[in-house]
Amino acid sequence: MHFVIYDVDRPDAGNLRAETRARHLGYLAAYEMHFAGPLLDSDGEMCGSLMVIDLPSRVEAVDFAGGDPYAIAGLFESSSITTFRQVFPPPEN
């Protein structure tokens, strides 16, 4: 099952994203991500994260999101997890 994880950084997070980035990327590397990357504000500065991951259940998606070093460090002001169905391009089986 695909899940979209959408996280918005706290405005007062300062350098927390940069300080935690290496641990965050290492964490993502342990999973099979469809894609992931930073959200950008109107000035092109990182202000959040978007990830699409395939996991067996919502419980595992919640556990994955909660285990992200960014989340553990308190970077996010808000976070949402939504089930997603890929239609285009057609998924490979």
Peptide bond into 89 cis (omega under 30): yes
The pTM is what? Answer: 0.92
The total of other beta-carbon atoms located within 10 Å of residue 76's CB is: 19
Amino acid 14: pLDDT: 79
Pair of tokens at residue 15: 């350098």
Q: Where are the domains positioned within the chain?
A: 2-83
Each of the 93 residues of the chain gets a pLDDT tens digit; together they read: 999 999 999 998 879 999 999 999 999 999 989 999 999 999 999 999 999 999 999 999 999 999 999 999 999 999 999 999 989 988 876
Which secondary-structure segment (H or E) carries 83? strand 76-84
Amino acid 80: pLDDT: 98
Hey, what CATH class is 2-83 in? alpha beta
- What distance in Å separates the CA atoms of residue 31 and residue 22, rounded to the nearest whole number? 15
- What distance in Å separates the CA atoms of residue 55 and residue 64, rounded to the nearest whole number? 9
